[in-house]
Structure 1
Amino acid sequence: MLKQHLQQKLLQKLSPQQIQFIKLLQVPTVALDTRIKEELEENPALEDPSLMIAEEPKSEYDDLNDAPEDFEGGSKEESVDEFNVDDYLQDDSVNDYSTSYNNNDDDEEKKETPIAIESTFFESLQEQLDLVPLSDQDFIIGKQIIGSLDDDGYLRRPITSMIDDLAFSQNVMVEEEDVFEMLKVIQAFDPPGIAARDLQECLTLQLRRKDPNNPIILKAIEIVENYLDEFTKKHYDKLEKSLGLSSEDLKEIIAEILRLNPKPGDSNQVTTKQLQVIPDFHVSNNDGVLILTLNSKNAPELRVSRSYIDMFDHYDKAAQKDKKMKEAVQFVKQKLDSAKWFIDAIKQRQQTLLKTMNAIMQYQYEYLLTGDERKMRPMILKDIADKIDMDISTVSRVANSKYVQTEFGTFLLKSFFSEAIQTESGEEVSNKEVKKILEDCIGNEDKRKPLADEKLTEILKDRGYNIARRTVAKYREQMNIPVARLRKEL
């Protein structure tokens, strides 16, 4: 049986303006400029004065309201017809400021940034293959091997799979012996260790390129071929006993192995690409007083287009409004509102960033003055949220993607947050302080007898930090420090 009844519900929904602010808040400075450019392209009612080369021409409707009464009666409708409404309804992505951009002469010299041209890793191998006198079949096999290499220079594709590829794709029938023979040819190319099928073969190929009469090289080859597992796990005592070596001899052999390149394919390439970090804040020390400034890129000079405001006023005051005129009014109003909301969201973002960072700076004042991690106070998101009277999620959005530049380096705001640890005296300290002590202890340890986690736990307890061994192990792993056995050196 169907029944009707009234029910009250209390719902909390985010407005489009709030959603836009949240998205802008979590955008870092390095991506904010791109986001603003996207908005400028999408909304012609939004302008950036810094991009305007010439002054915007005065609208013919600026003095419309000041026109004499006899003018209003005779030509107001004519002025309405002068607007081509279709131009604004067809494409809402046209920028009214873009027409002032192309003022450069065609004869002006166009300067381009020179680009360095270098041979790639695979091109270098192909050039070496071209210089070797080979039969047509061997040349095809060689090209197949080079094309099957990974970026680090290893051949991880099975030989049988390459034989199938040659048969199906190039109609070349070969045997395993033919591929192995060409593999030996490729492995003789530069850089040494290329086309190896595993790390052991890669290191062996490099060592066999060195002086064969050197006893250190011969012992290094023996260790790599027969004792690689013991070497990687740093069981040096087993190596000394098995090979009858002294500590000094083993030290020289290990140094020789460590000089080898485990990824020969990366030797001609940039292996580490540094991520460009643009700080959102700057904290400077002015005679013991910290001064906080916001990166100027976070405060763009945006404004609403005056021509669009005049256009809306004109359409809105028009005496006759047909369907097309109403659509024009609605379109212009939508773009004006969107521009105002975006500008307000940018300003609110600036205020929130400054408010949050200022609270963090005041909380970690001693640390930001000295740069000593031992003076960092324990701080969680709730501490800052309560201080600035904002939600924890807002603080989290600011802390997760923003950087601050100090006199001691550039840091992610998230790194200033840490858990509290209670000492024997009852004082709460940051776990960053404990990690700093662990780092100092491990850095000053005797590498021949590195400190185990149990010993590190005892050292911390002697200093008043009552921490379990598993907690010490957790902090050590967070700092990417290996266990004592793997830190051992001869």
Structure 2
Amino acid sequence: MLKQSLHQRLLQKLSPQQIQLMKLIQLPTQAFEERLKQEIEENPALDTGKEEKETFEDSLENDVDYDDSGNEKIEAEDINIDEYLSDDEYPSYKTQSNNYAADDDEKQVPYAAGTTFHQSLKNQLNTFRIDEQERSIAEFLVGSIDDSGYIRRDIIDIVDDLAFTQNVYTEEETVERILKTVVQTLDPIGVGARDLKECLIIQLKSKSPTKTKSLAINVLENAFDHFVKKHYKKLLDKFNISEEELKEVNTEISKLNPKPGSSYAGNNKIAEQIVPDFTIRIIEGKLELTLNSRNAPELHVSREYNNMLKGYQDSKDKSKSQKDAVMFIKQKLDAAKWFIDAIKQRQQTLLVTMNAIMHYQYDYFLTGDERKLKPMILKDVADKIKMDVSTVSRVANSKYVSTPYGTKLIKDFFSESMKNDQGEDVSTREIKKILENVIAEEDKKKPLTDEKLSKILKEKGYPIARRTVAKYREQLDIPVARLRKEI
């Protein structure tokens, strides 16, 4: 049996404008500029730069609630044209200060130019007198070299690929010979090696022979695992050498390049460019926060659209085409109004959030001492500015701040807390910094184990377990005690 009934439900629904604002907030400066450019291209009612008069921004000075239903049919006669026209010649945004010089407005990401790494290797093959089949094998081997300069494939697999893809039938011995006599002699020395051991030996053999180099080659060829794991006592016994000789061998090998391919200057890789979203300066002992003006562009409605609306308002006989045109104009003006308002709210949200972070970490920004970083999580900032945690997360994500101590990723200022022996909350960043300092000052001949590091930190007032020390050490990318050992 079918029944009809009425139910009341409360639903939370984000308007399209709120969604647009959230997306804009999470964009870093360069991505925001791309989004801005895209919106200007898609909406002809939006314009940039300075406008002489009769601009549209006066209607943006007041907070406007927008109806997001979008389903009602609006007649052209129902549109109040005066709402879209303004006599305000000087809106507030034009009086804002600009802290970003036009001369510094470098928006193009630079690219490295020149010959690529693999092309350079192929060009060097032209200096060898080899037949056509050997050249095909050599070029295939060069093409198998990765960006670090290694061939990570077995010779038998390369032989099979040559047969299937290049129609070149050969033997493993031939490929091995060309690899050693041709490819592994190319510059930079060490390319074409199949592992680290072979790479280092190739580089040592290319140098003028000395007693230390010969000993280093012998150590790598016959005791590579002992050397890598820093079992120095075993090396001294195996080769019957003194500590001084082993130290010379260690110094000689440390001069070699473990990744010869990455050192090639002609690698065409995009140069990374970080544009800070905020700047913090110390002026007369106080902190000053500014928003990068590239995040606060000058936007207004095109004069042509204002003129079209005036023309419609002044005309006595309003044709159907004019009514259709004014409906189109209304849609574009609403979209422009929402977008400009979203940008203003974005600027306000960014400044309020970063200002709260700056004051929370005031001591750090004044001194640059990471040990003064307070424990801070997203909720701490969200409670302070009375916004949602997700909004703070969007601001902190992928945003940078320029400080007197360098350009920093904002999310790096957030850290969990631990209690010291006084019962006070301290940042895990502070503990990591102290751990890093203790390891830097240790005796490298007898590096401290995680257990000993744990005891030292407890003596300094930070009671943390050995496994926690190991976790922090790994996060700092510091190897275990055995691998930090030096002669």
- The answer to whether TM tops 0.5 is yes
- Give the alignment partner of residue 143 of structure 2, picking from 127, 139, 147: 147
Kindly indicate whether residue 329 of structure 2 is the aligned counterpart of residue 329 of structure 1: no
Equivalent-residue separation in structure 2 for 1:162 and 1:483 (angstroms): 37
Comparing 138-147 and 231-240, the one that deviates more: 138-147
**Aligned residue in 1 for 2:40:** 40
Deviations 1:374-407 (A, max 9, x none): 2222111111111111111111111122211111
Equivalent-residue separation in structure 2 for 1:338 and 1:39 (angstroms): 10
Equivalent-residue separation in structure 2 for 1:266 and 1:173 (angstroms): 32
Kindly indicate whether residue 171 of structure 2 is the aligned counterpart of residue 175 of structure 1: yes
Once the two structures are TM-superposed, the CA of residue 18 in structure 1 deviates from its matched residue by 0.4
Comparing 174-183 and 458-467, the one that deviates more: 174-183
Kindly indicate whether residue 332 of structure 2 is the aligned counterpart of residue 342 of structure 1: no
Partner of 2:281, secondary structure, is strand
8 A contact 2:190–2:202 mirrored in 1:
yes
Equivalent-residue separation in structure 2 for 1:125 and 1:222 (angstroms): 29
Comparing 429-438 and 321-330, the one that deviates more: 321-330
| Alignment-mate amino acid for residue 181 of structure 2 | V
After superposition, residues 282-321 of structure 1 pair within 5 angstroms as: 282-315=279-312
Distance 1:425 1:139, change over 3 A: closer
8 A contact 1:309–1:336 mirrored in 2:
no
Once the two structures are TM-superposed, the CA of residue 301 in structure 1 deviates from its matched residue by 0.8
- Give the alignment partner of residue 234 of structure 2, picking from 228, 238, 260: 238
Deviations 1:244-269 (A, max 9, x none): 22221111111111211222223323
Distance 1:131 1:340, change over 3 A: same
8 A contact 1:141–1:182 mirrored in 2:
yes
Distance 1:274 1:471, change over 3 A: farther
8 A contact 2:48–2:300 mirrored in 1:
yes
Partner of 1:393, secondary structure, is helix
Distance 1:8 1:465, change over 3 A: same
Deviations 1:65-105 (A, max 9, x none): xxxxxxxxxxxxxxxxxxxxxxxxxxxxxxxxxxxxxxxxx
Equivalent-residue separation in structure 1 for 2:166 and 2:431 (angstroms): 63
Gaps of 5+ in 2: 56-109
- Give the alignment partner of residue 128 of structure 1, picking from 113, 124, 130: 124
Give the structure-2-normalised TM-score: 0.82
| Alignment-mate amino acid for residue 160 of structure 1 | I
8 A contact 2:111–2:271 mirrored in 1:
no
Kindly indicate whether residue 239 of structure 2 is the aligned counterpart of residue 216 of structure 1: no
After superposition, residues 156-305 of structure 1 pair within 5 angstroms as: 156-186=152-182, 187-212=184-209, 214-269=210-265, 275-305=272-302
Distance 1:162 1:287, change over 3 A: same
Once the two structures are TM-superposed, the CA of residue 339 in structure 1 deviates from its matched residue by 0.7
Distance 1:239 1:274, change over 3 A: farther
8 A contact 2:376–2:415 mirrored in 1:
yes
8 A contact 2:115–2:266 mirrored in 1:
no
Deviations 1:25-64 (A, max 9, x none): 01111222222111111111001016xxxx78999xxxxx
Deviations 1:259-312 (A, max 9, x none): 112222233236786532111111111222111111111111111113213323
After superposition, residues 6-155 of structure 1 pair within 5 angstroms as: 6-49=6-49, 118-155=114-151
**Aligned residue in 2 for 1:426:** 423
8 A contact 1:312–1:333 mirrored in 2:
no
Larger-gyration structure (1/2): 1
Equivalent-residue separation in structure 2 for 1:341 and 1:282 (angstroms): 28
Distance 1:273 1:486, change over 3 A: farther
8 A contact 2:113–2:266 mirrored in 1:
no
Once the two structures are TM-superposed, the CA of residue 150 in structure 1 deviates from its matched residue by 2.2
Partner of 2:455, secondary structure, is helix
8 A contact 2:219–2:227 mirrored in 1:
yes
Gaps of 5+ in 1: 60-113
Equivalent-residue separation in structure 1 for 2:266 and 2:376 (angstroms): 39
Kindly indicate whether residue 374 of structure 2 is the aligned counterpart of residue 370 of structure 1: no
Comparing 123-132 and 33-42, the one that deviates more: 123-132
Once the two structures are TM-superposed, the CA of residue 165 in structure 1 deviates from its matched residue by 3.7
Partner of 2:289, secondary structure, is strand
8 A contact 2:381–2:392 mirrored in 1:
yes
Once the two structures are TM-superposed, the CA of residue 313 in structure 1 deviates from its matched residue by 4.4
8 A contact 1:316–1:329 mirrored in 2:
no
| Alignment-mate amino acid for residue 452 of structure 1 | T
Deviations 1:193-220 (A, max 9, x none): 22222222222212222234x2211221
Comparing 479-488 and 347-356, the one that deviates more: 479-488
8 A contact 1:374–1:436 mirrored in 2:
yes
Equivalent-residue separation in structure 1 for 2:161 and 2:416 (angstroms): 56
Comparing 196-205 and 338-347, the one that deviates more: 196-205
Give the structure-1-normalised TM-score: 0.82
After superposition, residues 402-481 of structure 1 pair within 5 angstroms as: 402-481=399-478
Equivalent-residue separation in structure 1 for 2:117 and 2:176 (angstroms): 22
| Alignment-mate amino acid for residue 172 of structure 1 | V
8 A contact 2:299–2:340 mirrored in 1:
yes
Percent of pairs with identical residues: 59
**Aligned residue in 2 for 1:103:** none
Equivalent-residue separation in structure 1 for 2:358 and 2:54 (angstroms): 47
Root-mean-square deviation (CA, aligned residues, Å) is 2.5
After superposition, residues 381-396 of structure 1 pair within 5 angstroms as: 381-396=378-393
Equivalent-residue separation in structure 1 for 2:415 and 2:261 (angstroms): 40
Partner of 1:157, secondary structure, is coil
